Amino acid sequence: MRVATWNLWWRFGPWEERQSAIVRTISGFEADVVLCQEVFCDDEHGDQAELIGDQLGCEVAASRRGDGTRLPFGNAILSRLPILESTSIALENAAGSPGHRSAVAARVDGPLGPQWVVTTHLDWRYDGSVLRQRQLSAVVDWIVDLAGEASDESLPVVLGGDFNAVPESDEIRRLTGLGAPYRDGIVFTDAWAAVGDGDGHTWTRENEHSRDAQWPRRRLDYVFVSWPRPKPTGNPLRARLEGIEAPMGSDHAAVVVDLDARPAGAHLTNPEKGA
C-alpha cells in the first residue's frame, strides 16, 4: 500500500502556474492514498482537492466546519481506494480555541479491509512546540476514538502530514515513543527513520519556492504507522522524496512511502513459534 503526503502551499507564490506541476507530481506518486495539506477551497478559486481528484480519478475527503462547509485553508485525502467514511476536527490555536488548523480522517477499503488514514497540519511557529504537542495529543485521542485501541490484531492507522517539527523535537519524540506517549498503549513508527535513505529534508533552500527560508534543511513532513500492529502489516518498506525537481509544485517536498500490506504472520516460517 503506497501512501504519500504533500503540503500543496495553498495559493502562495505563483499558485496558478503551480497547479499543473502539482497534478503531474501527484500522478507520478502512483499512490493509493495521498495526504494533502494547505489545500484551498472557495467560491472564487474552486475546490483544489476535488479538481485534482477529478483529474486523477480519486475520491476525496477534506476538512469541514461543523456545518459541513469546506475550510478555505485545509487538508484533504485523495484516495484511489474507496472511501467508506470520513470526518475531520479543528485543532486548537495558541489561545486554546478551535483554530484554522485541522485533521482529516478517512476509512478506506484497503488491501486487508477497512483501514483509517489521517492527515494533519500543525502550527508552524518555531517556538510553538507546546502548542504542537497539544494539537498532536488531540489528534492521537481522536484516532483512538475512531479506530479503537491499537493491538497486535487490529489494522494500523496511517498518520501523515506537515508537522512543522523536526524528528528531535518533543512533539515528534512523544509520538514515536522516544518520550512520554500522548496516550498509553499507542505510538507511531516514523517511516523515513525506518527505511528512508539520507536526511529526508522536506524543507530546503534548494527548493526554488523556499530559497529565503529562515531555517532551511529540516524534515517537517512525515508518514507514521501506529503501533502495536500485527507483523508485518503496515511495516514501512521503502520511502522516497518527490516534488524536488523543477518545476516545483510546492515549497515542501513530498514523502512517498510503501507499506507492507501482507496479513499477520505472512513473514513467519513457523507462525506458531512467533519467530
pLDDT tens, 15-58? Answer: 999 999 999 999 999 999 999 999 999 999 999 999 999 999 99
186-238: per-residue pLDDT in tens?
A: 999 999 999 999 999 999 999 999 999 999 999 999 999 999 999 999 999 99
In angstroms, the first-to-last Cα distance of the chain is: 24
Residue 180 lies in a domain: yes
Say if 14 falls within a structural domain: yes
pLDDT in tens, 146-179: 999 999 999 999 999 999 999 999 999 999 999 9
Residue 202: φ, ψ to 5°: -105, -5
State the burial class of residue 153 (Cβ atoms within 10 Å of its Cβ: 0-12, 13-18, 19+).
exposed
Q: Is residue 164 part of a domain?
A: yes
Short-list 225, 222, 221, CA closest to 236: 225
**Those residues with Cβ within 8 angstroms of residue 126's Cβ, 6 or more apart along the chain or in another chain:** 214, 215
Task: Write out the H or E segment, with its range, that includes residue 240.
Answer: strand 236-242
Residue 269: inside a domain, yes or no? no
pTM score: 0.95
Does residue 126 lie within any of the structural domains?
Answer: yes
Structural domain harbouring 233: 2-259
Structure confidence by residue, pLDDT tens digits, 18-27: 999 999 999 9
Given this model, what pLDDT does residue 263 score? Answer: 95
Assign 76 a pLDDT band (cuts: 50, 70, 90): very high
Q: What is the Rg, in whole angstroms, of the alpha carbon atoms belonging to the chain?
A: 18
CATH code at 227? Answer: 3.60.10.10
φ and ψ of 188, to 5 deg: -135, 140
Distance of alpha carbon 159 from alpha carbon 134, whole angstroms: 16
Average pLDDT over residues 66-72: 89
Could you please report the per-residue DSSP string of 101-164?
A: EEEEEEEEEETTEEEEEEEEE----TT-HHHHHHHHHHHHHHHHHHH-S--SSSPPPEEEEE--
**CB–CB of 90/99 below 8 Å?**
yes
Q: Rounded distance, CA 228 to CA 151, Å?
A: 5
Is residue 101 in some structural domain? yes
CB proximity list for 66: less than 8 A, separation 6 or greater: none
Q: Domain count of the chain?
A: 1
Is a pLDDT exceeding 60 seen at residue 272?
Answer: no
